[in-house]
Amino acid sequence: MQVVTLITTPTERNLDAALVDNLRNAWGGGDAHWLAIDEAAEFAIPSVPDNQWEVWADLQAACVDLVIQPHEGRRKKMLLADMDSTMIRQECIDELAAEAGVGPRVADITARAMNGELDFEEALIERVGLLKDLPVEIIEQVLDERITHMPGGYELVQTMKAHGAYAALVSGGFTAFTSRVAATLGFDENRANTLLSENDKLTGDVGRPILGKAAKVEALQEITARLGLTAADVLAVGDGANDLGMLKLAGTGVALHAKPTVQAECDVRINHGDLTALLFLQGYSRDEFVT
């Protein structure tokens, strides 16, 4: 048995009941269950329809995300999340670069690396090199003034944890940022790269080994083994090419507002919903959210 989930933008809340019913009827689905009125609904179908992606494309034009997945086992026991442009709206290295006066150059490298056009580790080393001599105190300033959380992140982490799940934040960014974001949102642990400093200034280098695509996969494997879980128990979420390994390995890998090359390789894509969409995908209704 498969479950179809339809989710629209939470600020608009304009999911049409007629659209849901028409699709349910066309696919021979069961009764529709509204997870949030005018925002998210689901229904069961016997098998994945042949025209899934044609319908997906049509619904994207209507600002509606469509996900089809097996009903059994969709409520996960572990959340593994990327940070930059996933749990926060920004790329932390781009924000540091803006303070260092090299914002456009670093942002261009970041965009190309996240789209898989550049080697992640080489791109990180190059970008960090451009931050040399930036005062360490700027990190706190950027955290206070430039970093904002992605909507729905707190609800996602806290709701899953309230139902016994474990939450890990694994980033190709920096521990100076993940430690605060993880503490604020309620993650159980966080892993990231370390910016090196000397005499209260950044040296322009990053600690080794660099946490990249392979390290995110290793984190998934290590944490699940420690907790007695399997990859099938994991919901992973990210947006960049360096997230693809963990997204493909996890039981549910969600490409959230992701780069085109990432979306092309993921079956679960959220382009219009916020992070609460990941709760709807697991069958949680909005009145079950921890806020």
Distance of CA 252 to the CA centre of its chain: 11
84 belongs to the catalytic site? yes
Strands 2-8 and 64-70: antiparallel
Catalytic residue among 82, 233, 267, 274: 82
58 belongs to the catalytic site? no
Evaluate whether 55 touches 117 at the Cβ level (below 8 Å).
no
Q: Computed over its alpha carbons, how large is the radius of gyration of the chain?
A: 20
For residue 88, what are the contacts with CB-CB under 8 A and spacing of at least 6? Answer: 147, 148, 149, 150, 177, 181
Catalytic residue among 21, 58, 65, 84: 84
Report the interhelical angle of 92-100 vs 120-129 (nearest 10°). Answer: 30
Strand-pair partners of 170: 191
Residue 75: count of CB within 10 angstroms of its CB: 17
209: cis peptide before it, omega within 30°?
yes
Interatomic CA distance for residues 129 and 268, integer angstroms: 35
The catalytic residue positions are: 82, 84
